[in-house]
Amino acid sequence: MPGKVTFILGIHNHQPVGNFDHVIEEAYARAYLPFIEVMKDYPGIPFALHCSGILWDWFAEKHPEYTEAVASMAAAGQVEIMSGGYYEPILTIIPERDRQGQLAMMKEFIDGTFGAGPRGCWLTERIWDPHLPDTLSKAGLEYVIVDDSHFKSTGFTARQMRGFFLSEENGKYINVFPIDKSLRYLVPFHEPHEAIEHLRAISEEPGGERKIAVLADDGEKFGLWTGTHDLVYKHNWLRRFCDALMENSDWIEVSTFSRAVDETPPRGIVYLPTASYSEMMEWALPLRAQEAYQDAKGILTGSGRFPDAAEAVKGGFWRNFLVKYEEANWMHKRMLRASALLSDSGSGDAEARSHLYQAQCNCAYWHGLFGGLYLPHLRSAIFKHVLEAEATLDIPAIERRDIDGDGVEEVIFASPKMQAFFKAKGGVLRELDDMRTRFNLTDTLTRREEIYHRDLKDLDKQGLNGEETVSIHNHGTAKEKGLEKKLLYDRWPKASLSDRFMPEGTTLDLFASGAYAELGDFVDGIYDIETEGDSVIAMSRNGSVDSSPVRVEKRITLDGAGASMKIDYTVTAGGSGLSCLFAVENVFSFLAGDAPDRYFEIPGREIAGGRNLASSGVEEDVERLRMVDEWLDLAMTMDLPPDTSVWRYPIETVSNSDSGFERVYQGSALVVVRKLDLGPGEAESFTMVILIS
């Protein structure tokens, strides 16, 4: 007869801010609703439930019957509602004032909807920081859930984690429950009896204390992940699991976190380092470090001494996503700027604060197994909410500050119709916003090598057809053939007004693939930036092209009322002169590369190769080119001097997703190309205009 074990089931449901409505509807139909419908038939099996505020808002609008069903189960004592930041932020990367605001917003919702305040907290992506006990206890919470990898990194063994612990910061305490990783991988991908056998093994471990085993994981794995809907509901995995729990109720007590806190003492005090689940800490590593990490795990696992290599090898630190991906860092620092401006203004505008909180939703700030940062519509939603918050504030017309923490100040131009952010590094236009539609026109993504890219050519050998039920951590399919040919990588971050010098004969294909020879040192060089009044920004740099001195000047005159900027270029040759192609790369994104209502337009001519935004081509003697988005009712127009060539190509990435490897349109590059043939001391000047309308 085994000893007793307490089993706690926690379910976390979440969808990103900005996700498509049909995607959330599918998750509801395939996972969220059927899970509740099954569990209603097992009132003797309690569980904890966390839904992000994004979902609670969506349920209220689309399916209020879901919230009503959960409220009924909560009133009967079957469901414990857990708190968290309302819009699912990573608490450790937002200011304390916003942490408390988001937690208070969720508490108010739970109080008002379910009649009882939350006692515990789902921690977004289980990202822990030693300061969180202070934050969470101040918010009136008693417990939080983290991964067992947090404990293993401090030397705990699995047997030492069969309970919960107290953690402290500044004399403030919080109860911390470790999640059993073995259960997370067993459920629901193995037969129910295997999870029961794992619980039995725990119950038979030596020691007289009541043993607690926690399974807390994404609700989407119960119906939305590939193959799981059939497994969990058509093949009745969930019902069979619940039946097995009931059949073994003489030694398995199914409980909730709050009941465990009330009935069982903590096992002691613990101090945990910054951590997340082991996969997340691996994803946060730079590519070469990821390769070394995987090699180390293989060696340790192969030795037979470490059933879980996470006991001996620790991955990276979540905030290194902000180092790994420049775009994530820029977006994060833009959000922090909006938070600071809103705080400094003393504004009590609840709507503006709600927009700020929505801009803190974690999903677009990182990339692991799924799309995340790689999904343009998620990034666009973050920027939209940042801009909505900023639109309520009185912002200076010209401002200098180091936004992204690279040690060099940016220059910001702001008007009621347009915002523009210029970086000294590269002398580029980093962000261009249309304030009327709250849309960032330059939000794109640099093409980078990811560790899973090397798996693309091996998919056929893996024998996965995309229909099998496997854990997403082992799942791999390709959504189209030939994706490995799209694996192109950029040498520099994508931005507009990026100055390039190339040999004559360079082609669009060479440029687009990144295989061309860059003759200059301007792409990532530091430009001098001066401002004149509230509407002129002058950038200049003395650099070199093919070892010969060259000076580039660009004087940018901004028209806030007309939402336009005029860029006056002057390129001056020194030394032995200059004979090459000069190119100004610009990147813009209207989110959809093949949508019929988003297209290029050149007055008076047909566009070779098609006009969709994902098309490529070379156009000679272009004096005006437009990118049009009828859905947004927005257009970007470039006016150019005669004898100008424009190269265009799509910026496309290959990333992983829950349904396989896929190609994602990130934006379009418009490269203004001019032939330079200058003697020593000679200069060439030209003007281009960018207009948002």
Q: How far apart are CA 370 and CA 446, in angstroms?
A: 17
> Pairing relation of β-strands 418-423 and 410-414?
antiparallel
Give tens-digit pLDDT for 612-668: 999 999 999 999 999 999 999 999 999 999 999 999 999 999 987 777 788 999 999
pLDDT at 423: 97
pLDDT at 171: 96
Catalytically active residues are: 125, 218
Q: How far apart are CA 52 and CA 56, in angstroms?
A: 6
Q: How far apart are CA 6 and CA 433, in angstroms?
A: 53
pLDDT at 484: 83
pLDDT at 157: 87
Give tens-digit pLDDT for 148-187: 988 988 889 889 999 999 999 999 999 999 999 999 999 9
Average pLDDT, the chain: 93
**Does 474 have pLDDT greater than 80?**
no
Q: What is the phi-psi region of residue 183: left when phi exceeds 0, alpha when psi lies from -120 to 50, beta otherwise?
A: alpha
What is the residue extent of each domain of the chain?
5-272, 439-693
Residue type, 211: K
Instruction: Please state, as a whole number, how many other Cβ atoms lie within 10 Å of the Cβ of residue 620.
Output: 10
Q: What is the phi-psi region of residue 105: left when phi exceeds 0, alpha when psi lies from -120 to 50, beta otherwise?
A: alpha
Give tens-digit pLDDT for 59-91: 999 999 999 999 999 999 999 999 999 999 999
The stretch 443-460 carries a mean pLDDT of: 85
Q: How far apart are CA 536 and CA 642, in angstroms?
A: 25
The sign of the CA dihedral 430, 434, 438, 444 is: negative
pLDDT at 460: 45
Nearest Cα to Cα of residue 558 among 501, 511, 497, 614: 497
> Pairing relation of β-strands 536-545 and 528-532?
antiparallel
Instruction: Find all residues with CB under 8 Å of 368, minimum gap 6, and list them.
Output: 279, 280, 283
Q: Domain spanning 5-272: which CATH class is it, in words?
A: alpha beta
At 313, is the pLDDT very low, low, confident or very high (cuts 50, 70, 90)? confident
Peptide bond into 188 cis (omega under 30): yes
What is the CATH T-level fold of the domain 439-693, as seen in this structure?
A: Beta-galactosidase; Chain A, domain 5 (2.70.98)
pLDDT at 471: 47
The stretch 12-39 carries a mean pLDDT of: 97
Structure tokens of 15?
A: 């969808």
DSSP assignment of 199-222: HHHHHTSS-SSPEEEEEEEEGGGT
Q: How far apart are CA 119 and CA 669, in angstroms?
A: 50
Give tens-digit pLDDT for 415-430: 999 999 999 999 999 9
The stretch 556-564 carries a mean pLDDT of: 95
**Does 463 have pLDDT greater than 50?**
no
pLDDT at 486: 86
The stretch 218-246 carries a mean pLDDT of: 97
Coil vs helix vs strand at 484: helix
Asked if 541 and 529 count as a contact pair (C-beta separation under 8 A), the reply is no
Q: How far apart are CA 54 and CA 343, in angstroms?
A: 23
- Residue whose token pair is 């930036």: 529
Q: How far apart are CA 648 and CA 580, in angstroms?
A: 20
Asked if 122 and 10 count as a contact pair (C-beta separation under 8 A), the reply is yes
**Does 289 have pLDDT greater than 90?**
yes
